Amino acid sequence: MEGYGIVLSVIVALLVGLAAGKAWERYKLVEGRWIDRRRLRQSPHFILGLNHLVAGQVDLAIEELERAAQLNPDALELRLVLGNLHREKGQVGRAILEHQALLQRPRLHKIEHANVLLCLGLDYRRGGFVDRAVAAFQDVLKLDPDNETALVNLEKLQEDQHQWQEAYVTRRRLAQIAGPPDQPKSQLILAFLENELGLQALKEGRLDDAIKRFEAAIELDSRVIPAYLHLGDARRRQGDLAAAVATWERAIAVDPERAYLSLERLEQAYETLGQPDRFAERCRALIGSAPREWRARAALARHYTHGGEPSRALELLFEALEHNPHAIAIHQAIWGTLSVLDLPKHLVARYIDITGQSVFYLDPHVCLRCRYRSTELIWQCPHCHEWNSFVEERITPATDTEAEIPAALVP
């Protein structure tokens, strides 16, 4: 719904620009006739439509703008906007017809032509006509090579189809156009795309190529954690376990919040290297530096259970549960460990006591950009397509001590 709001505000801005008339010439030669664009502003329907749009009443806005368009049949922008409103309402077929009809107009300016094709491309993308959308955006770029909206949409379509190399080229173009202010964002996206290209190489058994890609990803942006994980995997496949361990440890140093992604790999590797104690040390260090960290506790608990120390494991799991009652993995681990211990009554009672005070909720991973929720950590949001936008939401048992109640609420 947020995307819908953004599109609406863009449309409103466009219409306000049209009304103010600053960016638009007052008179325009259309099909050999001079048209006075002020007529548009004088039409009550136009202003009424604008008001409805600002109030979020899309249907009423369409009705009034349709009347305004009938009074001004040459106003290309109005028909473009009407088409866009139909698309935003989900009437993609109608939007396509509206925009296609505009292409039939004789003597379209180059930039008008590009705008119509851009709207058509957005219609096709919304309707799921991928090939047609790609073709439309490419046509826009022939007329207007620096059109950022067309490039961004093209990039997302290429990513959707896992055409990582093509998406990479498109993002490089966007980075060039936007210049330095956009650089960190583009670097991050390029790094994720390098990581995808590395994964593709890994799948096809091109180990050296994969390693180059993952290293390039880290070089572009050191925060791209999956590149470290996969670089370590590739090193391990090469037989260099020490280098793999160093890479995974680096990932933990870069982003301790996501240390758990490296922990499972490290546990196995330390075991193979004959240094199992290093795993407990690493988990303890993580817990010490982030007292709320639950995954390190869960990983260490698993390690203790396998090592024949279930009581020690259970203490860690209870601690983890207090910090993150929503994690089903912890409940499962607790019941597994309680079973190993033959369900001692006092420990079961402690479990019931801890969970009784907890607030539960689902899908703890949330996209910072669009609030999309997911049970798993995802690197690219399936809803708004942003890279690296997920954080884990955490809730602990509610406390209502006086100190936390705002002064205004205290009677």
Residues in contact with Zn ion by CB under 5 A are: 367, 369-370, 372, 381, 383-384
Q: Which is nearer to Zn ion, 278 or 373 (CB)?
A: 373
| CB closer to Zn ion, 294 vs 372 | 372
Q: Which two tokens stand for residue 392?
A: 């884990």
Amino acid at 241: L
Q: Residue 390: beta bridge partners? A: 367
Q: Cα–Cα distance between 51 and 125 in angstroms, integer?
A: 29
Shortest distance, position 35 Cβ to Zn ion, whole Å: 43
Q: Which is nearer to Zn ion, 196 or 267 (CB)?
A: 196
Cβ nearer to Zn ion, comparing 7 with 207: 7
Contacts of 406 (CB under 8 A, 6+ apart): none
* Closest approach of Zn ion to the CB of residue 332, in Å: 29
> Which residue in 114, 131, 37 sits closest to 80, CA to CA?
114
Helix (H) or strand (E) holding 303: helix 295-306
Closest distance to Zn ion from the beta carbon of 392 (Å): 15
User: Minimum Å distance from CB 25 to Zn ion?
Assistant: 40
Residue with tokens 């329907």: 45
Choice between 329 and 366, CB closer to Zn ion: 366
| Contact (Cβ atoms closer than 8 angstroms) between residue 45 and residue 64 | yes
Torsion of CA 278, 281, 286, 287, to 10 degrees: 140
Least gap, CB of 382 to Zn ion (angstroms): 8
Query: Least distance from C-beta 225 to Zn ion, angstroms?
Result: 18
Q: Which is nearer to Zn ion, 48 or 377 (CB)?
A: 377
Give the strand pairing for 390-392 and 365-367.
Answer: antiparallel
- Side-chain half-sphere of 340: how many Cα atoms within 13 Å? 18
**What's the rounded Cα separation, in Å, for the pair 12 and 116?**
18
Closest CA to 60 of 72, 71, 49: 49
d(CA 225, CA 262): 9
Please identify, using beta-carbon distances, which residue of 72 and 153 lies nearer to Zn ion. 153
**Smallest separation, CB 151 to Zn ion (Å):** 20
Burial class (CB in 10 A: 0-12, 13-18, 19+), 370: middle
Query: Is the CB of residue 385 less than 8 Å from the CB of residue 376?
Result: no
Handedness of CA 291, 295, 298, 299 (dihedral sign): negative
Question: Nearest approach, Cβ of 399 to Zn ion (angstroms)?
Answer: 31
- Of residues 238 and 374, the one with the C-beta less far from Zn ion: 374
